[in-house]
Structure 1
Amino acid sequence: MCAAERNDDVSTAARISALLTAFRPGDDALGVSELARRTALPKSSVHRLTGHLVTHGLLERDGRSLRLGLRLFEIGQLATRQRGIVDAARPYLADLREATHNTVHLAVLEGTEVVYLDVLRGPDAPRLPSRIGGRFPAHATAVGKAILANGPEARVQAVIDAGMPRLSPRTVTAPGLLRRQLDRIRTEGIAYEREESGPGVVCAASPLLDAGGTAVAAISISGWSNRMRTDRVAPAVRTAALALSRGLC
């Protein structure tokens, strides 16, 4: 394959990725014009590429608009490593939600963001922006800090180099402060988030470790700052994480 062909393949893959990721939480169906606006692609390219994606089941037509296709869900279910973690963690997450009536999360790190693999919402918990498949900057979440504290230095440096955006008045944006927090988390096995991802929300998280002691994921409990004592729920999160880690090794 010549260089021109390789570049064209990369360009096509990038455009397809842009189209599929243009859909956001809450979107149902989007028109070609809106997809073109969100991706900055010409409408002619959007027409052509979405036609191919419809043919292969990755998009579905809804009148003159398009929605994500069922084939994408089927592909997602084939992510076996994540599926195994979700299946193993679900009983522990259910127990934590039942015991605390708060929202519990299972998340992994991808780049500088956490991706939520499972979310069990509690009846007494705030309505959080987290959702299955959703992303959040790692430095502003307890699950993210739990994973960063128990992994290679390159992960931490990548987060710092990305700029650590401020999501709330309490978001940690200073590299030195983040590193001090990670040192404490590494020692105690518990990470806290105190209104760093949004006002009024607190969280306690603990990492899931592989046989070598590296975090592969993290679980957490989130609730209202005026209702949930993070120091009281932290032991339960830590105990569940340790038991789950043993099962994953």
Structure 2
Amino acid sequence: MTAPPARRNQSSSLRRALTVLEYVRDHAGTGRGVSLTRIAEDLDVNKSTVLRLATPLIEADLLIRDRETGWFRLGHGTLRLGQAYLSSLDLRTAAAEPLRLLQHAVGETCHLVVYEPPDVVYIDKVENETNVRMGSRIGSRVPAYRTATGKAILAWLDEEAFRVVVAAGMAPVTAHTITNPERLRAELDRVRRTGYAIDDRENEPEVRCVAAPVFDHTDAVVGALSVSSLTTRMTPARVREVGPVVVRTGLDISHALGSSRTRDGNPRRSATD
């Protein structure tokens, strides 16, 4: 059964109006806007058609037309939509599929954590039950200084966060635990250079972990993900292979949360920068 002509026309008008909105979004530049003539020419439609399609967008505050120049730019309604979308995002939900794909790619246990100073808290875990299972549990917490995920987060926090971790104590739990603040600081510098952190038997004597940070829409670090395995499987060579894969997954999750971070942890530059 085909839709009535009126309904088809409304659907077509909606799609064309959204095309105008998307054009302004992509071409309005630094806030000056884009002219009616340019929109009409680039979209190959009449000026009168652009004005007709733009009218409901202006009424909904999705577009603004400058009274003096007649140029169009995005309206406050787009900001409200964006904020509503971002507020609906949940780290665990955004990370679920990337984390599953990461586990499938590397064949090892994968974790997702958030930071509750001075600890990291496990909020998700995906593991291959054919391998040796890790002892971690969702909801458990571990001091950040001796985990790869903790270091991946601390590397992108400020000096005050570092002092909080140090003040909480850096007791050894294995022969490889980092207990010296300056050595930890050097580790965080390395994390910022490579993009990923390593727990080399620092939390459990026979386990190595590789972790990368996750950023939100403000480009602030909000968590980290990791790949963990026994040292017999996670050799130093394997760490170097897995590291970039974990970084890419962290960026995938970050971008789903609205972040503009790149592999080096810096915001992506726009074409006009």
Mark yes or no: TM-score above 0.5: yes
Distance (Å, rounded) in 2 between the aligned partners of 1:100 and 1:108: 22
Of residues 211, 222, 228, the one that matches 2:228 is: 222
Name the residue aligned to 1:135.
141
1:159 matched to 2:168? The reply is no
Matches within 5 A, 1:165-176: 165-176=171-182
2:109 touches 2:133 (CA, 8 Å); kept in 1? no
Partner of 2:203: 197
- Say whether residues 1:109 and 2:118 are aligned partners: no
CA distance in 2, matches of 1:161, 1:82: 35
Taking the aligned partners of 2:103 and 2:118, their CA distance within structure 1 comes to 27
Q: Percent identity?
A: 39
TM-score, normalising length from structure 1? 0.65
Q: Which residue of 1 aligns with 2:150?
A: 144
Determine whether 1:243 maps to 2:238. Answer: no
Structure number with larger C-alpha Rg:
2
Question: CA–CA distance in 2 between the matches of 1:218 and 1:124?
Answer: 25
Residue 109 of structure 1, CA deviation: 0.7
1:12-27 counterparts in 2 under 5 A? none
* Pair 235,127 (structure 1): closer, same or farther in 2 beyond 3 Å: same
Q: Where do 5+ consecutive residues of structure 2 fail to align? A: 1-86, 259-273
Distance 1:231 1:246 in 2: 24
Given that 1:219 and 1:241 are in contact with CA atoms closer than 8 Å, whether structure 2 keeps it comes out as yes
CA displacement, residues 76-131 of structure 1 (integer Å, 9 cap, x when unaligned): xxxxx898110110101100111111100000110111000101122354432311
Contact persistence 2:89–2:257 (CA under 8 A): no
CA distance in 1, matches of 2:138, 2:164: 24
Which residue does 2:126 correspond to in 1?
120
Q: 1:112 to 1:126 in 2, by over 3 A?
A: farther
Distance across 2 between alignment mates of 1:124 and 1:155? 38
Shift of 1:159: 0.6
Paired with 1:97 and 1:168, the residues of 2 have a C-alpha distance of 27
1:93 aligned counterpart, secondary structure: helix
Runs of 4+ in 1 over 2 A off after TM superposition: 122-129, 210-214
The 10-residue stretch of structure 1 (211-220 or 185-194) with the greater mean CA deviation from structure 2: 211-220
Measure, in 1, the Cα distance between the counterparts of 2:100 and 2:217.
25
- TM-fit CA distance, 1:211: 4.0
Q: Which whole-Å CA distance do the structure 1 matches of 2:170 and 2:257 have between them?
A: 31
> Per-residue deviation at 1:158?
0.5
What letter matches 1:241 in structure 2? G
TM-score by length of 2: 0.59
SS of 1:145's partner is helix
Structure 1 gaps of 5+ residues are 1-80
1:37 corresponds to: none
2:123 and 2:139 in contact (8 A); partners too: yes
Q: Is 1:96 aligned to residue 102 of structure 2?
A: yes
**How many residues matched?**
170
How far did residue 203 of structure 1 move? 0.7
**Match of residue 232, structure 1, among 238, 241, 262:** 241
What corresponds to 2:190 in structure 1? 184
Distance, in Å, in 1 between the alignment partners of 2:175 and 2:152 is: 21
- Preserved CA contact (<8 Å) 1:125 1:223: no
Contact kept, 8 Å, 1:221 with 1:237, in 2: the verdict is yes
